[in-house]
Amino acid sequence: MEYSPEEIVKKLVNAEVEHSKKLETAEQELKKLFEKKKKDIDNEKEKLFQEIENECKEIINSAKEKEKKLFETLENDIKKLKERYDKLNDNIDEISNKIIEKIIIK
């Protein structure tokens, strides 16, 4: 079957139009896919940031709790030392006398 020049041109134009439509459709699909992938990556990034933030909060809370326990321990130690100092200070005369007695006895 032979085609006239007009038919050949018409077929070429139709083929070019069809090809352009397919390219445009493919481009739109790629853009949609790109946007979906970008959204998925952004969501994953946000999820990871949230996990990191939560882990940081846990670390900070743990550090605060350890700090609180440490200060409580230090306060108790200071209190005990102060009590011992006060007791020694109250009994200084008695202690001094005992020391002098021991020195004299020896």
Angle between helices 5-90 and 92-105 (to 10 degrees): 60
pLDDT tier at 100, thresholds 50, 70, 90: confident
CA distance 75 to 68: 10
- CB count, 10 Å around CB of 2? 5
Run of H or E including 103: helix 92-105
pLDDT tier at 98, thresholds 50, 70, 90: confident
- Mean pLDDT, range 24-53, rounded to an integer: 98
Task: Specify the 3-state DSSP secondary structure of 3.
Answer: coil
pLDDT of residue 26: 98
DSSP letter, residue 106: -
The two structure tokens encoding residue 45: 């990034």
The 10s digit of each residue's pLDDT in 10-20 is 999 999 999 99
- Mean pLDDT, range 8-35, rounded to an integer: 96
pTM of the predicted protein model: 0.56
